[in-house]
Chains A and B, each alone.
Chain A
Amino acid sequence: MSTSTTSTTSPKPERRTLGERWADLPKPVKIVVWLAVALFFYALPLLNPPLLSTPESDFGSVMFTVASYALVALGLNIVLGYAGLLDLGYVGFYAIGAYTVGVFGSLHGSLPFWLLIVLAVCISTASGLLLGAPTLRVRGDYLAIVTLGFGEIIRLVALNSEWLNQSRGIQDIPRPPDITIGGEPVFEVPRLLWDGLTATVDLGNTSAFLEFGLLDGVPYYWLALSVIILVLLGDVLLQDSRVGRAWEATREDEEAAELNGVPTFRYKLLAFAMGAFIGGLSGALFAARQGAINPETFTVQLSMLFLAAVVVGGQGNRWGALVGAAVVAYLPERFREFADFRVVVFGLLLLLLANFRPQGLLPPRRARRAQRAGKRLAELEGTEEGARA
């Protein structure tokens, strides 16, 4: 249909993106790089690098907080980013996970720790299915309202139920069991102490592998990081599968997906249940680290913060969700000296982001490609008659 091919359409040698270059690397190289990255993150709280470290609070504990946010963001990314379901009450699942560990580990029982984790995950997944089954049949806006209500209901039940200890919350929540050899830690890792740019090994301040004490946050961080890596592996496998394609189609056009043979309701429910699973897991780890929980931890604001992590990072991209969680959880701790202005700065950042990068810091491949294609189309317009046919 095009009448002529003018010089303006001559193809420029397209710059390869970092992602494309990465994809071309041989597999062993990739594995080595991944291992190095993982190792770096495991060692991060001990390296204690001067600019990254948090001067006013324990770096290991901050890193645990970041990791638990990252886990939540990964779960919410499945619900929001992959399946496109706006869940405003994600904190509900987080609370259910935390309370399960508290109730059966301290308040009304003393089950072993790992069983508590399994129980927490089962109960939060079941509640996800129960909430999703009736509500996922309605359209997006209603889902947002129903989930918002769900999050609040969970908090209010905890606040008012005698059985859940009302506003007093739950104390003495069991910590993960230590892994030791004859009462001694397997090994101890010293930290680096920085003076300007010179580092010295501080033998007096070590982290024990794996002793879950009250003060040292590092072992908890290691545990959370390991869970994140497992979840990431599952996430990668899932997104490349039929399930991932079904979620994507459902998110983009539910009716068209249904017409192509995707049982959309079933896949939405699956996404919801998986989100609840990961949310509950994260809540359980949080309770085990914290040792004490009360209803006021699980407010709507926390839901919004989780949501912000995914949206800021780039919904639909697992790495984006991780970056978003780091931004939301780490920056406020790093810049504690500006504590009074934290909310203002956070609000300003969100505004800037919404204006200049609405798809998030690390948008998924699709969003980037759509943007590129849109630009190319705009360039072609006028030179090619068929572009708007």
Chain B
Amino acid sequence: MSERALGEDQLVVEGLSVNYGRIEAIRDVSFRVPAGGIATLIGANGAGKTTTLKTVSGLRTVRAGRIVFEGEDISRVPSHQLVKRGLCQAPEGRGTFPGMTVEENLDMGAYTRSDRKSAAYRADMDRVFTLFPRLAERRAQAAGTMSGGEQQMLAIGRALMSRPRVLLLDEPSMGLAPKLIQQIFSIIVEINRQGTTVLLVEQNAAQALRTADVAYVLETGSVARAGRCAHGVDPRG
């Protein structure tokens, strides 16, 4: 992918620290997500990627630092209010509602919308089914009975139903066959091309770096390297 012109920073994280009890999970993490781009946080298991993402989406409490989304400080905004503001996370792995059908899951994604009977809502549902034809085939099936890959697709599709301006993805490639990983990543690129900014947390560094515009490497709870991606990671400091 050639280097693209990116907009201003839509999401800015500054000096973020989070604790689990006494234990420090992440320390002084800072990164920026440019508008219209794909940013990625990569790193090994336990480096603090998921914690960082969950903190941004309001599921963990900020101990120090701040999170700024489109100019507003959202460090203390609870998770369920961020969806309305345009920031939505697709949870890691099988984060679907297992007893609900595919269609009901997608409908839950639109929970905060008030136009659930409208044409716009139908159009968004169709858009998800176009991006993930596999979900269309299984629209009446209970999510819990689908494969890991299908559930991952469903989690992403459900997040899209809230029409986020920034989409947070937690390890979309986890536990998937290589062929399916390719597929998911090309869909992520397509979602981004249609106008959604993406923040992607990944363990599969090679794939993430091929996809993203900017990358940050997390090591033991802090950012070790950062840089633009089109020509590999170039260390800044």
Contacts and interface: CB of A to CB of B under 8 A. Distances in A.
Q: Do A and B come from one complex?
A: yes
Interface of A: 1, 242, 245-246, 248-249, 252-253, 255-264, 366-367, 369-370, 373-374, 376-377, 386-389
B78 interface: yes
Most chain A CB inside 10 Å of its own CB: which residue of B81, B100, B108, B144: B108
A259 B88 contact: yes
Given A252-B98, A366-B100, A369-B101, A259 B145 contact: no
B45 interface: no
Contacts, number: 99
B111 interface: yes
Interface stretch (B20-28, B89-97, B124-132, B201-209): B89-97
A127 B29 CA distance: 43
| Interface range on chain B (Cβ under 8 Å from partner) | 35 or more
A259 B142 contact: no
A374 to B, nearest CB: 5
Most chain B CB inside 10 Å of its own CB: which residue of A249, A256, A259: A259
B79 interface: yes
Top 9 nearest A-B pairs (CB, nearest first) are A261-B83, A261-B112, A366-B99, A373-B145, A252-B97, A258-B79, A370-B142, A373-B142, A263-B80
Contact of A248 (B59, B79, B100, B109): B100
A246 B141 contact: no
Given A260-B109, A261-B83, A253 B141 contact: no
Contact of A255 (B95, B144, B162): B95
Contacts of A369: 99, 101, 142
Nearest to A366: B99
A261 B162 contact: yes
A88 B90 CA distance: 34
Interface in B121-179: 134, 141-142, 144-145, 147, 149-150, 155, 158-159, 162, 177
Contacts of A258: 58-59, 78-80
Contacts of A246: 111
A370 B96 CA distance: 14
8 contacts: A249-B100, A255-B91, A258-B58, A258-B79, A259-B57, A259-B83, A260-B109, A369-B101
A387 B145 CA distance: 10
A2 B112 CA distance: 36
B80 A253 contact: no
B225 interface: no
B79 A370 contact: no
Contact of A389 (B83, B91, B147): B147
B84 interface: yes
A260 B99 contact: no
A256 B177 contact: no
B6 interface: no
Contacts of A256: 91, 95-97, 155
A257 B97 CA distance: 8
Contacts of A262: 80, 108, 111
Given A245-B111, A261-B80, A261-B162, A377 B149 contact: no
Nearest to B58: A258
B162 A370 contact: no
Given A245-B111, A259-B59, A261-B80, A389 B100 contact: no
Contacts of A260: 80, 83, 88, 108-109, 111-112, 158, 162
B145 A370 contact: yes
Contacts of A248: 97, 99-100
A366 B140 CA distance: 12
Contact of A253 (B58, B96, B101): B96
